[in-house]
Amino acid sequence: MSERRRVLLLCYFYPPLAGGGVHRVLSFTRHLPDHGWDCTVVCAGQEDYWVTDESLTAQIPTGTEVHGGSALATLLRIGRHPRGRRSGRTFGRLRTLSDWWLLPDSYAGWAKRARSTAAARIARGGVDVVLTSSPPDSAHLAGRDLRRAGSVPWVADFRDPWIGLHFRTPPTSWHRARQSALECSVLGSADAVLTASTTHRRDLGGACGGRLDPSRLHVLPNGFEPGVDAPADATPADPDHFTLAFTGTLSQMPDTEVFLEAVHEMLKRNPEARRTLRARLAGPFESGYQDRAVALGLTGIVEFQGPRGHAESRGLQRGADALLLWQPRDTPTMVPGKLYEYLDAGRPILALADPASEAAELARRGGAEILAPGDRDGLSVALERAWREWRTAGRAPGRRAEWLEDYRRDRLSARLAGILERVAGARP
């Protein structure tokens, strides 16, 4: 490419903030420069989320412009704790109030300030495309306003479906209609729309009265970074125990309690397993789940480790005897980003997911055992079977499919670069 171009990425989550939402945009900034695209990032400030990972900042390429600004999002700071977030009525009431009064979400104030920052950067010149990434969906409203105000084309990247409609229940029919109208204003204004799953793209094809041009909808899976955070091979951290591992955020995940109850039932049938079964849940969590584990007598067996660096989490995945996955309920279009990392780790997977969902299909291709969400008894039996196989035959051999190479983030970023080129070339 004879001439370099620049994309301005407007997103809330970017290092040193951590969590599943960080890695997709971080991978864009890592790999797009290899395809002629320099990156400017407008994001939240360092204190604006309850999970951080300073080690991720080392992955930001030299030359990336980063503009971080405080969100003043007090809802996100309520109940913060070094290891997890306290469950309780206060946080729940604030969440309910935000559903009533903050549209599309509680990040709306940050989005307005981010829009101003992005507009000032665009005015300096040299920006060829704006890309907004959600959640939060407020980021897309900032992108919409920027597109309406100028000639720089805009790509809307949906890591998840519209939160206010698919993950939260609108409090009234007016709220539902308003959320739908905001979503359609984004879909109708963007020059291109990215989804992280084929199912989500299909659903958007019929959204907004079927008025969307299907040629503007593109699937770009989350994917994974091969070997960037952990060695290619890893030995079990604790070979004397059958180790289950979960990595990711444990917030508003009712199947966490299903898992705890399944372990409890399995141990009732096999009390001797208390000596060798260990579950390590790595990531931010709501304290109510830990309280439930204590009430079920799982202290010393199930460990809530709290936030861990991404490299440590990847090492835990590779060292586990089996990996745990549960998909947010009633969201069949979502493919959790951690699933690609699990598949890359090559360890057996036990998943609570809609058996007909895209996530379940992908996990099944990688050899996972799929159980329906809420299936406590089925999960308990599956845990017992896996533990007995480990006790008899030892650690199961690794299994990593060759087709997973198509989901490497460097390859996915090459596809994104092509979409950006087409969008930038089509501008007036």
Give the CATH number of the domain where residue 385 resides: 3.40.50.2000
- Overall average pLDDT of the 62-82 stretch: 63
- On whether residue 234 sits in a domain, the answer given is no
CB neighbour list of residue 347: distance below 8 Å, 6 or more residues apart: 317, 318, 320, 321, 322, 323, 396, 398, 399
Find the range with the poorest average confidence among 116-120, 228-232, 324-328, 414-418: 228-232
Does 51 score more than 90 pLDDT?
Answer: no
- Overall average pLDDT of the 398-406 stretch: 89
Residue type, 169: T
Does 353 score more than 90 pLDDT?
Answer: yes
Our count of domains for the chain comes to 2
The whole-angstrom separation of Cα 300 and Cα 111 is 43
- On whether residue 206 sits in a domain, the answer given is yes
Matching residue, tokens 């409090």: 171
Domain that holds residue 263: 242-404
User: What pLDDT sits at residue 118?
Assistant: 97
User: What pLDDT sits at residue 99?
Assistant: 74
User: What pLDDT sits at residue 152?
Assistant: 95
Please indicate, yes or no, whether residues 252 and 104 belong to a single structural domain of this protein.
no
User: What pLDDT sits at residue 167?
Assistant: 78
- On whether residue 232 sits in a domain, the answer given is no
- Overall average pLDDT of the 259-270 stretch: 98
The whole-angstrom separation of Cα 28 and Cα 80 is 29
- On whether residue 228 sits in a domain, the answer given is no
Mode of pairing for the β-strands spanning 65-69 and 37-44? parallel
Residue among 27, 57, 1, 7 nearest 410 (CA): 27
Please indicate, yes or no, whether residues 139 and 281 belong to a single structural domain of this protein.
no
CB neighbour list of residue 35: distance below 8 Å, 6 or more residues apart: 1, 413, 414, 417
User: What pLDDT sits at residue 1?
Assistant: 45
Helices (H), 49-172: 89-101, 108-123, 138-149, 163-166
User: What pLDDT sits at residue 75?
Assistant: 41
Find the range with the poorest average confidence among 94-98, 206-210, 255-259, 301-305: 94-98
Does 375 score more than 60 pLDDT?
Answer: yes
Please indicate, yes or no, whether residues 62 and 129 belong to a single structural domain of this protein.
yes
Does 77 score more than 60 pLDDT?
Answer: no
User: What pLDDT sits at residue 325?
Assistant: 95
User: What pLDDT sits at residue 79?
Assistant: 44
**Which pTM was predicted?**
0.90
Helices (H), 276-321: 287-295, 310-319
- On whether residue 27 sits in a domain, the answer given is yes
Query: Where residue 115 falls among pLDDT bands split at 50, 70, 90?
Result: very high
SS3 state of residue 83: coil
The whole-angstrom separation of Cα 194 and Cα 197 is 9
Please indicate, yes or no, whether residues 377 and 258 belong to a single structural domain of this protein.
yes
- pLDDT single digits (tens) 355-366: 999 999 999 999
- Overall average pLDDT of the 8-32 stretch: 94
Please indicate, yes or no, whether residues 183 and 253 belong to a single structural domain of this protein.
no
- On whether residue 103 sits in a domain, the answer given is yes
SS3 state of residue 51: coil
Please indicate, yes or no, whether residues 252 and 186 belong to a single structural domain of this protein.
no
The whole-angstrom separation of Cα 190 and Cα 153 is 8
Residue 286 gets which letter from DSSP? B
The whole-angstrom separation of Cα 175 and Cα 196 is 26
Other C-beta atoms lying within 10 Å of the C-beta of residue 237: 15
- On whether residue 229 sits in a domain, the answer given is no
- pLDDT single digits (tens) 385-396: 999 999 999 888
Does 95 score more than 90 pLDDT?
Answer: no
- % residues pLDDT > 70 (the chain): 89
Helices (H), 69-137: 89-101, 108-123
- Overall average pLDDT of the 161-182 stretch: 89
Other C-beta atoms lying within 10 Å of the C-beta of residue 45: 15
Query: Where residue 263 falls among pLDDT bands split at 50, 70, 90?
Result: very high
Query: Where residue 174 falls among pLDDT bands split at 50, 70, 90?
Result: very high
User: What pLDDT sits at residue 366?
Assistant: 93
Please indicate, yes or no, whether residues 217 and 323 belong to a single structural domain of this protein.
no
- pLDDT single digits (tens) 334-350: 898 899 999 999 999 99
Does 3 score more than 80 pLDDT?
Answer: yes
Cβ atoms 320, 347 nearer than 8 A? yes
Please indicate, yes or no, whether residues 217 and 263 belong to a single structural domain of this protein.
no
Please indicate, yes or no, whether residues 106 and 82 belong to a single structural domain of this protein.
yes
Please indicate, yes or no, whether residues 189 and 275 belong to a single structural domain of this protein.
no
Please indicate, yes or no, whether residues 166 and 263 belong to a single structural domain of this protein.
no
Please indicate, yes or no, whether residues 355 and 395 belong to a single structural domain of this protein.
yes
- On whether residue 235 sits in a domain, the answer given is no
